[in-house]
Amino acid sequence: MKDEVRKQLAQRQIKLLYSAIPNSLLAIIFGILVAVLIFDSVINPVRLYTWTVLMLAVSFIRFLDYRQMRLCEKQLPENNSKWFSRFRIGALLQAFAVGSGGILLFSFDNSSYQMLLALMMVCIGSFATTTLAPHRPIAVLFMMIAFLPLAMLMYLQGTEVSKYISWFVMLLVIMLILSSLRIHKTITDSIVLSIEARQREERLRDYEQRVSLFIENTPIGVLEWNQDQHIAGWNQAAERIFGYHSDEVAALMPADLMFSAHDVALADMWQKLLSSNSTVVSLLENRRRDGSLIQCEWITTPLINSRNEMVGAISLVEDVTQKMANEKLKSEFISIVSHELRTPVTSIKGGLSLLASGALDSDPEQGREMLEVALANTNRLQILINDILDVEKLESGRMEYHFADHDLASLVEQVVVANTAYAEQYGIKVCTRIDEASCMVRMDPDRMFQVLTNLLSNAIKFSGSGTPVTITLEKQDDKCRVSVNNMGEVIPEDDRANMFTKFFQRDSSTTRKKGGTGLGLYICQKFLGEHGGEIDFSSAKNHGTTFFFSLPLSK
């Protein structure tokens, strides 16, 4: 038996023993009244009232002990041994007082009164059997102390009748002791079972509480289905995923509102559960309350009763829309980067291989051209790597900025000069329109140089040969506006939402032919956001495409 169960068992036994004291005291008072009525004319009054006073005194002591226990009942777990000891003392005193009645109330010359005394003592013993049964040693000692004086007197008196009565009394004592032992075992087993049942109930309640808290706080949606294929309940995560409040669940028609008509229906999933009685994993297109569609992964497990019948199901739902988008983004990243790496590396390797083989030793001019090609492709690789590193720093918050007041017009001119050679490769002429008013802006010049270079190089790359690219700087109230215009193909409005996302590449042969990682505009947007500006674009036939942003003037 575990220590905790043993402690609680002792506590219950003490409460049972003490709770029986008031009834036993009433029984003793009733026994005293009966003894006074029966033996008043038979026994010497001194003997009779000596026993009466003794019984009342012990009863009063036990009543005080009972009262004290009730006042200190909350301390029982810490003082079990103390209260056991006090109860033993009181019960043994009561046993001696009862046993003294076998001597003080004994009639030496009347066998009828001897039988009445024996009967009264047996009644007291029978009552004690039940009240003292929770404490086995005390029950046995009480019987022996209470009945032994009477049995010995009857046996030693010498008459045949008294001897038979004494044997009868001893037999009854043995039967009462055996009864008390059986009652003790029954009470003990009952208490232990009730303690263990309560502990199991507490553990179950604790487990249910933990499960309930887990279900409510888990980021994964949890749905319970009943036999009618309706939702019986769900957690807060499911509310966030599908957009419905828990009060609206009962009115839902899951097959219509929860699942898209283009995907696996609820009935099909339910049929799989019925046929297999095992967990079903599904990737479903779900419809939210606002009508938008999301991709969710469902893990549905049937609820089986004791008759092996399916009575419902539990579904774990995770919104994997973003996860799938990330996987797609990862795939696009690998595809774009591998393409952007393969082309310059192949070119560098080819040129260096020719130079290393000595095949161009006789033609220094061609060798110089090969080195220039290798250098240009190396620069291209450096730009790619820098873009990837910048994205990582931006997303991890490790990008450093060095802000100071700078002239934005001067920076624009520097960018134009730096990209002149690049523009000549495409047969493009870069025109500038710079407002003469001062455009002092608080900025990080290196990051803003990257922004302007990205926008200008994109405009050059996607312009038609011989068409102009115009970069305009103008002062508007308390801001400076920069716009870069080219006359390339029109950007569809459908691409606006994705234009400034990572690795976005327009699905056209021109884009693939021109190359690029799709990181430039994403980086521009992040840098401008740190400078308090926003980037946008307009694109229309006969007007070309213009990317523009504004920065606040220095105060």
Q: Are strands 231-234 and 280-287 parallel, antiparallel or unpaired?
A: unpaired
**Dist. CA 259–CA 292, nearest whole Å:** 11
Whether the Cβ atoms of residue 469 and residue 423 lie closer than 8 Å to each other = yes
Secondary structure of residue 21 in the 3-state scheme: helix
Secondary structure of residue 536 in the 3-state scheme: strand
**Dist. CA 313–CA 156, nearest whole Å:** 81
**Dist. CA 202–CA 552, nearest whole Å:** 65
Exposure b/e, 518-553, CB count within 10 A at least 16 = b: bbbbbbbbbbbeebebebebebeeeebbbbbbbbeb
| Beta-carbon contacts of residue 423 (< 8 Å; ≥ 6 apart) | 429, 430, 460, 469
Whether the Cβ atoms of residue 17 and residue 87 lie closer than 8 Å to each other = yes
**Dist. CA 362–CA 522, nearest whole Å:** 47
Residue 100: count other Cβ atoms within 10 Å of its Cβ.
19
| Beta-carbon contacts of residue 325 (< 8 Å; ≥ 6 apart) | none
**Dist. CA 509–CA 400, nearest whole Å:** 37
What is the CA angle 196-197-200, rounded to 5?
Answer: 85
State CA 381 to chain mean position distance.
47
Secondary structure of residue 2 in the 3-state scheme: coil
Whether the Cβ atoms of residue 229 and residue 254 lie closer than 8 Å to each other = yes
**Dist. CA 440–CA 552, nearest whole Å:** 9
| Beta-carbon contacts of residue 180 (< 8 Å; ≥ 6 apart) | 129, 130, 132, 133, 136, 139, 140, 143
The domain limits of the chain are 3-201, 219-319, 324-396, 404-552
**Dist. CA 97–CA 73, nearest whole Å:** 28
**Which two tokens mark 51?**
């026993």
Element (H, E) at 55: helix 45-71
Helices 80-104 and 3-19, axial angle in degrees (round to 10): 40
**Dist. CA 54–CA 104, nearest whole Å:** 11
**Which two tokens mark 129?**
């059997």
**Which two tokens mark 396?**
């991890």
Element (H, E) at 66: helix 45-71
Query: What φ, ψ does residue 551 adopt, rounded to 5°?
Result: -125, 140
pLDDT tens figures, 446-484: 999 999 999 998 899 888 788 899 999 998 888 999 999
**Dist. CA 417–CA 407, nearest whole Å:** 16
pLDDT at 77: 54
DSSP conformation class of 503:
T
CA distances from 420 to 318, 393, 547 (A): 52, 30, 19
Whether the Cβ atoms of residue 199 and residue 152 lie closer than 8 Å to each other = no
Beta bridge partners of 429: 468
What is the architecture, at CATH level 2, of domain 219-319?
2-Layer Sandwich (3.30)
Residue 153's closest CA among 92, 94, 97, 100? 100
**Dist. CA 229–CA 267, nearest whole Å:** 8
Element (H, E) at 222: strand 221-225
pLDDT at 478: 87
CATH number of 404-552: 3.30.565.10
CATH number of 324-396: 1.10.287.130
Q: How far apart are the first and last CA of the chain?
A: 82
Helices 3-19 and 160-217, axial angle in degrees (round to 10): 130
For the CA atoms of 265, 269, 270, 271, what is the dihedral angle to 10 degrees? 100
Helices marked H in 72-110: 80-104
Whether the Cβ atoms of residue 514 and residue 531 lie closer than 8 Å to each other = no
Whether the Cβ atoms of residue 455 and residue 472 lie closer than 8 Å to each other = no
Intervals of the chain under pLDDT 70? 1, 73-78, 158, 251-267, 336, 339-340, 506-516
What is the CA angle 68-74-79, rounded to 5?
Answer: 75
